[in-house]
Structure 1
């Protein structure tokens, strides 16, 4: 797409805007706070499952449900229909998404059964309509799933805490639309992502990925990065991609509009990725006494407004 920045790597990505006050401080990180408040248990998860797993406990578990309910309510108002998809898909459908091309990809493979574990519900929502011709577009879904990622090649990177893990829950937006509507549909999804981080009161910035940093199926990707005080840097919490007709051609998903027909366009975007958004909330809302305030947008889904010992 013509407005995608030129470049070859992450260093060439373009910051579109920054919002919110950044607090440069050396307070406790989410690991220390999670342990002190008994809401995140990494040690026991390591004993049970190995590295890069965690238990969410007590108020953190309730926060997950509150975040999902909040984002579900928001996206339903824009016509996104809830779906809980399979987390194992066959290899043909996995190929259709374009996310499993690398020899050492990030997926867990069940080779005896020719199944692949999804790293995001996008990968199993997309093939719902494989081989179909759709009308009455756009067709919007918001899917909740557990996501599994091997994180191969990331050893030594972000090993502390729950930023980069093998298993996490995620609410994902996905839209099938006509080609002439895909840019507008992409803008809608990005606007919903921005509303989520804004409603949660988190400092963030919006970044347009350069051509060299795009994933294989994506023609344009916009990330939202939320500020993580313990790292003193922004980290990706949301990502939205316009894949135009790359995926629909592979999976033979078409549209019909009167006498007009062709391959559909597909757009995806994060609503809530639990681990990372919890880090942002815990660290940005920590208080001097070690407690954590709960963002006001979540109050109606919970029976507490702060987490404390």
Structure 2
């Protein structure tokens, strides 16, 4: 299969009416689906008429059964599986990661047919997990929410993944973090296929200030740190996405076009801490959360954030929080909380 270059990435199959097919997973995220499809609806017609003039969409399924979202609202399929090349894009909307068999075997087989037919596939929210599990993202960089980054790396260690941007377009695949970024990704497609005015109109009706691009960062602040410089925000998100301590400060500086000394100066000016200390604190906050919410052993938690010994991990942890990992775990145990 010939891969498209960047100028050709995610180009639709036709140049008439924009046609999008949706596959909704069991326990799918309603907001992500609603924002994506409503962006199409608002861009498709003038004013608030909701006619399918410049765009059309279908919810595809192997059965006529209602599909239940994670919040309990149900959506009825509008079409059986037809030839994939009837659509310009196929969007898989995921939801709760704990759901067994989020889509059935017939749906997976149809997605593989669509890939062979070179129809662009898009994973929204945890729809990326479904596409990756089907072997359809291996050669592409994937964007996921910071909330699901570690899980994606564990499930698909041979895939390239990022959690700093709101969505990503990589040749014949698209992916987005979910939530409001579903509207931005849809608007990006509308802008390419229908026009900038249609995309802007859809965003304005949705009360969103602008169409965010695939260069916009996820609105996440590790450690609650506020910083104006987008380069710093990008570095913080990268740190949060590599909790095993595998990043070097020099490498982080290179990624944003600075030398190490310039990055350290930027951290000192805006955050009043060194990059090394911030990275350590981010990893320790993750460890503290695991101690309070999971039953993982202390050594397993230490190894997850890049420490090879419990003793070293304990020393660093106590220097930051004034307690050992074991003391933090005991103080937040159910029995302790009941007696506290």
Q: TM-score range by the shorter chain?
A: under 0.3
Instruction: Return the structure number with greater relative CO, CA threshold 8 A, min gap 6.
Output: 1
TM-score by length of 1: 0.23
TM-score by length of 2: 0.21
Larger radius of gyration: 2
